[in-house]
Structure 1
Amino acid sequence: MAVALRCARLVDVEAGAVLPDRTVVIEGDRIAAVRPGGEPLPEGMRLIDLGEASLAPGLIDLHTHLVGPAACGDFLQELKLSGAQLALDGVAHARDTLHAGFTTVRDVGTFHAFVDVALRDAIDRGIVPGPRMAVAGAFVGVSTGGGMIVGLTPGIELPRHYRLGSVRDVPDVRERVRELLTGGADVIKLIATGAVLTSGTVPGAPELREEQIRAAVEEAQWYGAYVAAHAHGAEGIKWAIRAGVRSIEHGTELDDESIELMLEHGTYLSADIWWSDWLNKHPEQFDDEQRAKNDAATERQRQSFAKAVRAGVRVGFGTDAGCFPHGLQTRQLATMCEWGMTPLQALRAATLTSAECMGWEDRVGSIAPGKYADLVAVTGDPQDPASFNDVRFVMKGGEVVRDDLPAAVPSVSGERTV
C-alpha cells in the first residue's frame, strides 16, 4: 500500500529552497511523487502527518569508521577485540548513525579487513538496522603509515587481516586493490600522507607516491570503483588529484594550486572540520602527540575548507565519525556554516553533493521521484543547522525507523498515523 508523508516544510536541496506544505507519496521503498499538501490523496492511502515538522532528505556522511572502538586514540585497543566483537560493536554504531538521520554512509577503512563488508551485508539483508553503506574493506598505505596499527614492540608480527592493505610498490598496490574489490569492497581508501592520530607519522608528509596512487585508480576503474585519498599535506593532495582520485579526505593544507587542480579534475573535498572541537573537550582520550598535531591542523584545515568553498570546489560532508562517538555528526553542519557555507549549502553538501561523490545520485540525496524514500524530519527551522542535532523522525527505504515527534505537534490534517 502506498504511504503519504505530509509536512509543513520540505527542504528541496536541488533548488536550494524550503517549500511550504508538501506531501511525499511513497510506493514500496521509493518516492513516487511530491505534491502540494492541499491536494487530495487517493482513497485508502495511508497518511503519516508530520504536523509542523520539516522534512529533508536522509543525510549522508562520506567519512565514517563504523568498525572499531569509537572515541579512542589508542589504536592498540583494537587488538583486544575479535572480529565478532568488532562486528557487533559496529551494529550499535550503525544504529546510532541511522537514528541520527544518516541513511547513507561511506565507510572509509578498517584495521581488521572486511568486517565492514560483513556489516554492510547484514544491513542490506535486513538482519540489523543501519544506513546504506559503501565500504573500503581496509586502509591501503605504507607499513608504518597513517592507516596501520603502530606502536608495537619491534619483532611482533600482526595477523594478515590487520596488515592486508600494507604496500611497498606499484605491483603491491595493484594486487591489494584487486584483493579488496574482489573481497567485497565498494571503494578504495588510500592513505596518501601521514595522519593526526597515528603515532610517529607527519600529517604533511607524503606516504604514497603519485605513481602508486595512479595504479590504484587504474585498477579500481576496471572494477567500476573509485579511490578516496586521505591527504593532509599539499604535495600529497596534489599527487592524489593528478592521479585521478574521486575525493580528498581532510584536505588540511590546500594551497592555490591544489584548489585549481580540484576544479580542473572535478575532485570532491570531504573535510572533517568539526570533530577537533570534540577532541578538545575530551583531551583525556588522546595522547600528547595526537593533541599537538590536532592543534597544529585545526585552524589550517578550516581555512582550507573556506578557501575551497569560495572557489567553488565540490564539497561533500565527511566527519571522521568513529574518532568521536557515532551519532554526533550533524554538529558539523554549523561548523561548515561558520566557515563559508549557507545553511542550505551545508545541507546540500550532506545530501546531494555527497550522493554525487559516491556515484549514488540516482538513488539518494534528494526528495525526488524514483529515489529511495530516505527521509528525516526536525521540529525546528531547517535553515538553522542546530535543528538537525535533534532529528525526530527517520525513514529509510519507506520504513519508519525512528519516530520521536511529539504527539502534541499541531497537525496539518488534524490526524497523524504511524
Structure 2
Amino acid sequence: MTAHRVARSWVPMPEDHPFGLQTLPFGSFAGPGGRPRVGVAIGDQVLDVSAAWPALAGCDEGLFATGRLERLLAAGPACWARTRQLLTRWLSEAGERERVAAYLSPASAHTMLLPFEVADYVDFYASEHHAANLGSMFRPGSEPLTPNWKHMPIGYHGRAGTIVVSGTPIVRPAGQRRAADGAVQVGPSTRLDIEAELGFVVGVPSGMGAPVPLDRFDQHVFGVCLVNDWSARDIQSWEYVPLGPFLGKSFATSISPWIVPLAALEHARVTPPPRTPRPPAYLNDAHQARWGLDVRLEVRLNGTKISEPCFADMYWTAAQQLAHMTVNGAGLRTGDLFASGTISGPTPRSRGSLIELTWNGAHPLQVAGGEERTFLEDGDEVIITATAPGPAATTVGLGEVTGRVVPAEAAVR
C-alpha cells in the first residue's frame, strides 16, 4: 500500500445514482504498479478498500490484502453484513466521510480486473420463454420443452478459465460446423450470438456429499453480476448431440467487474412464476423465502437498444439452481460462478439472444447506421446493463458487461 494518501475533500454524490449507498458493489482494480486492489464503487468514484480497511477499520487487515475478493467471499454472511455496515457508515456520516475521502478516486481512472478467481462455472437454461422459443425453432410441430424441463433446472458445466472481465475483446471462435448442403466445414463461426444472463457468486464452500437446501442459499451466495455467455450457434448445433454444449460455448464468457451483494437486492425480491407440475421437494419453494428478482436488463448492439429482458420472468430461481446443482452431493468452492441462462420474457422485445430476436436469422434487426444484423459481425460491440429497485425508491445498479468482437487471428486447418 502507498505510504501517503493524497488529501481530498468529500465530493457529494447525486442521490439517485445507481451506485449509491444502497448498492456498494465490490470489485478489483489495477492500483499503483498494476497491483490488484479491492474497490467499492460509490457514485462515479472508487473507494480503495485495500488501503482504507487497515487504516480505518482497525481490524481484519488481511481481508482485502490480496486485492481480490476471495477472502471476503469465504468469510461468510456475518462478515459480509459487518463489512457493508461499516462501509455505509464511512460513506454516509459527515465525520467519517472526511476521513475516507483520501481513499477515493474517479472510477474512470482505473482498469477493472476479474474480481475473483473463478473456481467452477455452471450455466443454466432457466427461462421457459427462451427454452420454448428455441424448441419451437428446432422442433416445429413438437412440444417445445423437453420432458424433463419443468422437473429440474437444466444446466451444463462450462470452462472457468475462459471467464473474462467486461471490456475484454472477444475473438471470433472457430470450430466445426455443418453447411446447408450437409458438408462439414472447419473455420470461424458465422452465427456468433449473445446470451444476456445474471451470474451468482459463491462465497462459502460446502463439503462433498452435503446438498445445499433452498433455505441456505443466502448463506453460501455472496452476490450477483451480469453475464454475457457468448455462443457460437453453428458450432454448438453440430456438436451438442449427445453430450451438450462444448466448443460452441467454452471460448469466452464475459462478466461485469462489480459484484453486487445479495443484501443490496432485498427490495428487488419477488414471487417467481407458478410452477406446474409441482417440483420435487428439494426444489419446491412454495413455502420458502422468495428468490425471484426484479432485475431489469437492457441489451445494446452498436449503441442500439435491442432488448429489455427481466429476470422476474425466469421459471427457475437461483436458489433452486443451487439446490439442484448440489443435490447429488457436489461440493461448492469459494469463487464458484453459476449463471441463470438466457433471460427472455413473453414479448419479442424481452428476448435475451439474437437467435430469438431474429428468429434464427429470419427477421434481421435494424441497428445504428441503418445496418441489419442477424448474428454478430466483426467489430460489433454488445453492452448489457441492469438495474433493480432499492429501498426508499432508489435504484440499485449492476453496472455493465461489454464486449467487442474481433476477427479470428488465424484460420483453423
Q: Does TM, normalized by the shorter one, top 0.5? A: no
> TM-score, normalised on structure 2?
0.23
User: TM-score, with normalisation over the residues of structure 1?
Assistant: 0.23
